[in-house]
Structure 1
Amino acid sequence: MARRRSRLPFLAVLLGALAILAWIAGGWYTGGPLEKQLEFDVGEGEGLSALADDLEAAGAVDSATMFKLRARLLGGGTEVKAGSFLLPKGASEATILEILKGDKVIRRLVTIPEGMPSVMVADRLMANKDLIGPVAVPEEGTVLPDSYDWQKGEARAAVLKRMQAAMDRTLAELWAKRTGRTVAKTPQEALILASIVEKETGKPEERRMVAGLYSNRLRQGMLLQADPTIIYPITRGKPLGRRIRQSEIQAVNGYNTYTMVGLPKGPITNPGRDSIAAVLDPAETNALFMVADGSGGHVFADTLAQHNANVAKWFALRKARGDM
């Protein structure tokens, strides 16, 4: 009579395997060694082995080898996103991998305000120590003011390229929607006029009115007489820090609209989307003159007599304030 084989060895092996799996799984889900929140960077195309080594070096996991093993067995895929992520204090290995596979990338933004000249755009990029490589001062008017994502270790030139691509797209989009009231014959002329509008008013609601005024002057062959066009050749758009001198008003160059009829030879700053839209759809107005009203805006006039009266009121306000 044949003897029945004992099941004890098989059960022992099975129990042992289950114990190992439980140990592996337990290490995957239990809290990790991070003592405080950590900002963790994942490089473009970084593989699991390098990732695990980086996590161990950062103190986020106890063992790179075990993290790789658990990730392959329990992680449901190990493809992670490039970028910077916040790993919470005590995060388990499962939580860490879930974060690195997700979309909660830390957004780092560089903001270019409306009307920032190109020389200051380059300065802002160079001042960011987490970006790398040189960047040349871009041509004026080629950068769209906005907020742009960047990553640690990214080339400054790459960030600038996105800013310029955004301007190209925006200008093409708005040019296609231009109305018959615009005096701009080309997208470049629209940029030039928009840069003047951008520098002449700080009130968004005035942009189309200012654009309408300058459009009227251009149609009639009048001098634009825009103060920012005096300043640009002197500072390349940076603040002048003093009053304009009479000699500067009389200077003859490719920008000063006090001594030349028509548009300057190029933009005097980087205009925002709304200023570009304003010159491509200016307000219907007869205004030819404007002067500050003391509130950051302007008073507009159709005739020189009206304008002179507005100027007198502005001077009286400045004297009352002690500015004169």
Structure 2
Amino acid sequence: MWRHIVSNFLTLLVVVVFLLGGIILWGQSQYNTAGPHADPVCLRVEPGSNMRRVSYQLEQEGAITSGAIFRIGVDYGDRSGSLKAGSWLIPQGASMAEIADIITRGGASTCGTEVVYRVGVTGSEVVVRELDTTSGRYEERVAFDPAAEGEQPEIFARVREQNDTRYRVALAEGVTSWQVVEALKSVDVLAGDIAEVPSEGTLAPDSYEVRTGDARADLIDKMRAAQDVILAAAWENRAEGLPLETPQEALILASIIEKETGVPGERRQVASVFVNRLKRGMRLQTDPTVIYGITEGRAVLGRGLRQSELRRETPWNTYVIDGLPPTPIANPGRASIEAALDPDDTDYIYFVADGTGGHAFAETLEEHNRNVAKWRQIEAERSNGSSND
């Protein structure tokens, strides 16, 4: 009798162990299998939250099939105490294991709201953007001038109170170092002063992520380091036979190219004009250098140049000086630096606006004069059209 009881017990125990092993294997499979959600999810984890609350959020969003399995898997991986507050982008079909890694890894938030402080050539603005998880792109919610009088948009004040809001400082190509320093003074998430305006041309136009309390001086150093890397790489790969003796001269030429054209496809053509002029000993005769001689990068001229200004002697006026000016006239971007050091192979020595936003290029003065006449006709027609409105 006892043997029969023991035998039945052992049989039951084997069945229980087998079933338990099956459940564990099934749970592991569920934890590591692709999730059910067909679209990305932006999961916001509030400070002080816990895995139970987060698992409920994930269930509500349809990102996981079982909050219990998710919590068991997190506990088994010893990650329950590693939950990080922030906004985390959960990719479509992410497994529970992948989600657990995302929300415990830490670092900057990967979705949610972003505030961008844009430093432009003609002014600065603050833009509040939010990630559209469907498109994967940040969509603009509001933009405003930080220097304008009046109350700031309500959404800006609200997102500033959220601990997971990301911040970026974006420099446009062609801004001057003085403009950058002045703009950074109004970026109130940054701290500290900038001892002096950096040398012109030494800051890389780009978008830089910052955190509340970061030092302005440290951000300037980061911009400098980025420009050093870009310039060094372009100089290393420069074309042969250029009339440029140092990386600094390349930076000066790149800044002129940057200010002369906003059309990406013609940067190397513009570069070829200036390279050809330097090779022939011709003066560069470019208006942006004259403007820099007037403003020294501390203002936007906002009007056309006068004949007296074209004749005025300044260190940067390439109508009266030979060769390159002594310093860059702005902070050029990567594309303009690369164009300066690898220009198109042309015989162009002239160019003028063509009315489309680009330029008409010429090899001879006769051809250039025809292009100038066409441009003046376009200007006259536009002026007449404006006066008739």
**What is the aligned partner in structure 1 of residue 167 from structure 2?**
108
CA distance in 2, matches of 1:298, 1:98: 49
**What is the aligned partner in structure 1 of residue 206 from structure 2?**
146
Q: In structure 1, which of residues 169, 191, 205 is the aligned counterpart of residue 251 of structure 2?
A: 191
CA distance in 1, matches of 2:240, 2:262: 26
- How far apart are 1:109 and its partner, in Å? 1.6
1:155-234 to structure 2, matched below 5 A, reads: 155-234=215-294
- How far apart are 1:245 and its partner, in Å? 1.7
Instruction: Report how many residues are paired.
Output: 254
3-state SS of the aligned residue for 1:307? helix
3-state SS of the aligned residue for 2:202? coil
- How far apart are 1:80 and its partner, in Å? 8.2
Please, what is the CA RMSD of the aligned residues? 2.8
3-state SS of the aligned residue for 1:149? strand
State the one-letter code of the partner of 2:331.
N
CA distance in 1, matches of 2:45, 2:172: 28
Q: Is the 8 A contact 1:181 1:282 kept in 2?
A: no
- How far apart are 1:79 and its partner, in Å? 6.8
**What is the aligned partner in structure 1 of residue 156 from structure 2?**
none
1:297-308 to structure 2, matched below 5 A, reads: 297-308=358-369
- How far apart are 1:103 and its partner, in Å? 4.0
Q: Of Structure 1 and Structure 2, which has the larger fraction of its residues in strand?
A: 2
3-state SS of the aligned residue for 1:300? strand
The answer to whether the aligner puts 1:86 opposite 2:90 as a matched pair is: no
CA distance in 2, matches of 1:272, 1:39: 38
Distance 1:78 1:163, change over 3 A: farther
CA distance in 1, matches of 2:222, 2:83: 24
State the one-letter code of the partner of 1:189.
E
Q: Structure 2 length as normaliser, TM-score?
A: 0.60
**What is the aligned partner in structure 2 of residue 274 from structure 1?**
335
For each residue in 1:172-214, what CA deviation from the matched residue of structure 2 results, as whole angstroms up to 9, or x when unmatched?
Answer: 1111000114221110000000000000011011110000000
- Aligned identity (percent) is 45
Q: Structure 1 length as normaliser, TM-score?
A: 0.71
1:64-75 to structure 2, matched below 5 A, reads: none
State the one-letter code of the partner of 1:249.
L
Distance 1:87 1:280, change over 3 A: closer
CA distance in 2, matches of 1:261, 1:80: 64
**What is the aligned partner in structure 2 of residue 134 from structure 1?**
193
CA distance in 2, matches of 1:251, 1:72: 75
3-state SS of the aligned residue for 2:360? strand
CA distance in 2, matches of 1:205, 1:73: 56
State the one-letter code of the partner of 1:200.
E
Q: Is the 8 A contact 1:218 1:262 kept in 2?
A: yes
3-state SS of the aligned residue for 2:352? strand
Structure 2 unaligned runs (5+)? 1-42, 51-73, 90-98, 111-165
